[in-house]
Amino acid sequence: MKRFSERVALVTGAGSGIGQATAVRLSREGADLVLVDQSEAGLAETQGMLAEDSRVMSRVMDVSDEVQVKKLIRDTIKAFDRIDVLCNNAGIAGHHPPITEQDEGEWQRILDVNLIGPMLFIKHVAPHMQSRRQGAIVNTASVAGIRSGAGGNAYSASKAGVINLTMTAACDLGGDNIRVNAVCPGLVETGMTQPVFNYARTHEKAHKLGSRCELRRYGAPEEIAAAILFLASDDASYITGQALPVDGGNTASLNLPGMKV
């Protein structure tokens, strides 16, 4: 099924993890792609996984730099003449010190990438969608933006901001037939979360990974990508302003340490 034939999709954070899985799925479902990441090697790896008939443009850049964002969007319109789908996936986790030991500079960098970045892409992509009166935007938030315990303070605050940005942008753009939604992944093994998985495996705690989810397991990037593609597709044509947890049931119940084994 090629739900994205003759459509152009822009994916940030496309060099690994959820962004990479999303780009691969979009490609296999017919989309032409604009891929963004800070890792040139990651982008090259992703491109090697795409369908052979996909048209692809890639860019190594900082998603929080408005000058770079504006140039990318200009170049995209010049190359493809349109943007149908925007997937704001780029993100960083930072460290997890207690609130009394947190660094303002790290907070600012996390907010810049995780929250300001999606805002900038929406700001500069939306006018092109408005001119065609159609488009779908999917932001990658996190269960950390819904409840505590899934990330550090700065990361959690940034993802809560992404959820609220999703709702407010949906209200701003709905009259132009542009849908804005978010996915909220639970624990998924990606480059960003790899230290968690490495620690668990090194300390013989691998069996606990995902144990606090109702499905008793952690997720795969491809499972999050499937939800992103659903929200970006016409199958979700009457859905906007929503934040969809894709978390194995993590946010479905009271989830305290020791409650699940």
258 DSSP β-pair partners: none
CA-nearest of 245, 233, 239 to 186 is: 245
Task: Find the catalytic residue in 155, 199, 218, 238.
Answer: 155
Does residue 218 carry a catalytic annotation? no
**Contact criterion met (CB below 8 Å) for 87 and 9:** yes
Which residue numbers are catalytic?
155
